Amino acid sequence: MIAPRVPPIGALRRAAAISAALVLAIAVAGAAPPAKRKASLVVTGGTVVTMDAQRRVLSPGAVAIVGQSIVAVDTPQAIAARFAAADIVQADGAVVMPGLINTHGHAPMVMYRGLADDLKLMDWLQKYIFPAEAKTVSPEMVRIGTRLAALEMLQSGTTLHTDMYYFEEEVAKATKEAGIRGVLGQTIIGFPVADAKTPAEGLARAERFMLAFRGDALVVATVAAHSMYTVDAETLKATRGLAAKYGVPLLTHLAETRDEVDESMAKHKLSPAAYFESVGFWDTPAVAAHGVHLSDADIAILLRHRVALSHNPESNMKLASGAAPVTKSLKAGLAVGLGTDGAASNNDLDMFEAMRQAAFLNKLSEGDPTAASAQTVLEMATLGGAAALGMADRIGSLEAGKLADLIVVSMRSARQTPMYNPVSHLVYATRGDDVRTTIVNGRIVMRDRRVLTLSPGAVLADARKLAARVRAAVEPAPAQSSVAR
Ligand SMILES: [Zn+2]
């Protein structure tokens, strides 16, 4: 054993005296190093996929955050030199990227996940989903369902979700509780539903909701017309008017199935996109979900009115609705975001899987493996979604001045090894479970897989309890002679 070398006391005193003199000399000369700026959080050491205008990838890179905003994206050394961080997230072995933006969904429908699969759309809707909704949609169901959806979303890297459902104020409260963003539309539909007997009642409720959450830091409160086949022309106009009045994006479903187009042609002699145009529905920024069956003329209509599309490949495949003309829409100049749709037709809310399926579906439908490249699909899930929602100046990329919505995604599994190209891995080899840390609006909502905003045990227990009521609602009462289960 070698004794540790301890300098004699005299030497220490001399050293202290010299350094004190040095500090004094620097102060007198005015040459003190500039004080570091305080950062509330620095994420450092990972491969930073910025999605900025140059699509820079910094390996390694770092992101400095002050409050809700990103203030710098640079090398770890440059960030360390400029900022004193109150908190540091080490991202070694991981990709740091913008949070994923889900542009279409029905969060509370996670409660109907796996309730009925492998059915024709109308059987599925009329025998299972509508009866289940008629008997179980309530503020409590929406609250429990949205908490479950928000837990799944923040665990899989979604930092903003777009929603169309009922009792939307409960969706908003649960979204805020989870600490993620929402563009949330109170649904307007032409028949009596749990939260409104008439469309007029629904519109009044929507306006109260929009006023209640106006100016919220996380929630954009808006209104959603369910579709052109469930809402009459007068109500469509009133819905558009409400979104325009508050300057929020109008939400709807568009041309999801061949039947929708055929019925529209038979009834109005117009395609769904043309019918919406004829009633002035597109005269305000809107996001249309699906757009599976769009003609070139329809795409021209959407472009003329700057209508954005939400592409939902998994729902479209599961319900055999078809493949949306994504490449054509992008080439025409439409903003195209990516969505999961509700969990009843997906059956999960994993945006990594949505990216992978978007690439595969579009390659297959176009008979072209160069279609929907990894880069294109990653853009749809980040910047494209931000543009579709009219928020591209605030989110969708990692740049100074943008809001701090970012995720740390582990790249260390066997499935992700080796890594030559992070963008390829994010789309083709990564799953939601690989997300380690999720940051929204500068706040860490999940850190190293530990959820900090919701209590996962309680969220899951509440959902399981409610599921018993959902099951009872769709199962016929057992006959006298039925076998006990
Ligand atoms: Zn939908």
pLDDT in tens, 311-332: 999 999 999 999 999 999 999 9
290 CA → ligand 1 middle, Å = 8
Q: Rounded CA gap, 348 and 155, in Å?
A: 12
> What pTM was computed for the model?
0.92
455 CA → ligand 1 middle, Å = 28
312 CA → ligand 1 middle, Å = 9
Q: Rounded CA gap, 322 and 247, in Å?
A: 33
272 CA → ligand 1 middle, Å = 16
What integer pLDDT is reported at residue 55 of this predicted model? 97
User: Do 344 and 113 form a contact (C-beta atoms < 8 A)?
Assistant: yes
Q: What is the dihedral of CA 185, 186, 191, 193, to 10 degrees?
A: 130
Which residue, 53, 51, 54, 219, is CA-closest to 63? 51
205 CA → ligand 1 middle, Å = 21
Q: Rounded CA gap, 383 and 15, in Å?
A: 55
339 CA → ligand 1 middle, Å = 9
147 CA → ligand 1 middle, Å = 19
> Where does 40-147 show beta strands of DSSP type E?
41-44, 47-49, 57-58, 62-66, 69-74, 83-85, 88-90, 94-98, 100-102
102 CA → ligand 1 middle, Å = 12
304 CA → ligand 1 middle, Å = 24
407 CA → ligand 1 middle, Å = 26
289 CA → ligand 1 middle, Å = 7
80 CA → ligand 1 middle, Å = 45
What integer pLDDT is reported at residue 14 of this predicted model? 54
Q: What is the DSSP code (8-state) at residue 403?
A: B
Q: Rounded CA gap, 460 and 355, in Å?
A: 26
Rg (CA), the chain: 26
219 CA → ligand 1 middle, Å = 19
253 CA → ligand 1 middle, Å = 6
Q: Per residue of the chain (485 residues), what is the pLDDT tens digit? A: 334 444 444 444 555 555 554 444 444 455 677 799 999 999 999 999 999 999 999 999 999 999 999 999 999 999 999 999 999 999 999 999 999 999 999 999 999 999 989 988 778 888 888 888 989 999 999 999 999 999 999 999 999 999 999 999 999 999 999 999 999 999 999 999 999 999 999 999 999 999 999 999 999 999 999 999 999 999 999 999 999 999 999 999 999 999 999 999 999 999 999 999 999 999 999 999 999 999 999 999 999 999 999 999 999 999 999 999 999 999 999 999 999 999 988 999 999 999 999 999 999 999 999 999 999 999 999 999 999 999 999 999 999 999 999 999 999 999 999 999 999 999 999 999 999 999 999 999 999 999 999 999 999 999 999 999 999 888 765 554 444 43
Q: Rounded CA gap, 63 and 41, in Å?
A: 8
315 CA → ligand 1 middle, Å = 9
